[in-house]
Amino acid sequence: MSKRATTLADITAGEQPSSSGRTPWGDIPRYRIKIGQLENALAAVAHADQLGLRPNWTLDIHYERGQLAQPYLSWSASLQGFLKLIRDWARSYEACTAYIWTTENVRGSGTIGVHTHLLIHIPLELDNQFKKLVPQWGRRAGMVMKSAKEAREVLHAHRIGEGNPTMKAVCGKLRYMSKDLEQPSLDLLFPFKRLNGEPQIHGFGSSTGGVLGKKLGVSRNIDRAARKAFRHDPTQPTRWLSADGREQQIFDDVGVTRLAA
């Protein structure tokens, strides 16, 4: 037996996650998103926009509705397999994608269990084909869907507006995906409250069961290493997002900073 099961096939075949009985993603459940993770996600979205890969689709993946074997242990392998299928498909059309995801685990009567929120760029010319292929990719990633209705319940794909969505719309989705942000940071970044005093983020702190593995991830082409290695044209503005979702533009050649509403 290998020391570590790193693929969905290892788990669904009945192999223990590791010879020591430990899970391959750590033993401690993660309940909250750290402020550094959210800052990385905001920078990743801005870099994706700079590359022409602004996210324009959202996709919710419900592992337990899809009868994924041992979802608490295998969700990460299933997600990575699903994303690889999308990357390979886009590459076959000489296209690129970029994405940000967060995973939650909501326990209790009538709840949805382990699930992932995905924010992803899909080339406009591939929109229709993407939506048709999502159920097929979900099945190949280990989920069971016997009908189109079940597929919609397991994998809810939704386009953000029409054409190229605004950064405001993209940031709004990212704000929702970050509702498990640790409380001190939530108060700092999103101080505005409803009239009843509750945070404006619906479902704040929804993860009651925690997840094994990363709570939030971004594709490698927009992660910290990719952003650091990116050769920026000094005549073009460097874009990034402030905590409130507004876009900042810094022009290196003239040293002028603009704030876009």
Residue that has been written with the tokens 């719309």 in this structure: 169
Residue that has been written with the tokens 């669904």 in this structure: 12
Instruction: Examine the pLDDT at 215 and tell me if it is beyond 50.
Output: yes
Q: Which of 87-91, 111-115, 157-161, 244-248 has the lowest mean pLDDT?
A: 244-248
Between residues 175 and 253, which one has the greater pLDDT? 175
How far the first Cα of the chain sits from its last, in Å, is 56
Cα–Cα distance measured from residue 138 to residue 130, given in angstroms and rounded to the nearest whole number: 12
b/e burial code for range 120-154 (CB count within 10 A of at least 16 → b): bbbbeeeeeebbeebbebbeebbbebeeeebbeeb
pLDDT confidence bin for 145, thresholds 50/70/90: very high
Cα–Cα distance measured from residue 109 to residue 172, given in angstroms and rounded to the nearest whole number: 29
Question: Mean pLDDT throughout 155-181?
Answer: 87
Instruction: Examine the pLDDT at 9 and tell me if it is beyond 70.
Output: no
Give the model's pLDDT for residue 79.
97
pLDDT confidence bin for 76, thresholds 50/70/90: very high
Instruction: Examine the pLDDT at 81 and tell me if it is beyond 50.
Output: yes
Between residues 219 and 214, which one has the greater pLDDT? 219
Cα–Cα distance measured from residue 175 to residue 194, given in angstroms and rounded to the nearest whole number: 16
Question: Mean pLDDT throughout 230-235?
Answer: 64
Mean pLDDT of the chain: 77
Q: Which of 54-68, 133-147, 209-223 has the lowest mean pLDDT?
A: 209-223
Instruction: Examine the pLDDT at 74 and tell me if it is beyond 90.
Output: yes
Cα–Cα distance measured from residue 58 to residue 160, given in angstroms and rounded to the nearest whole number: 7
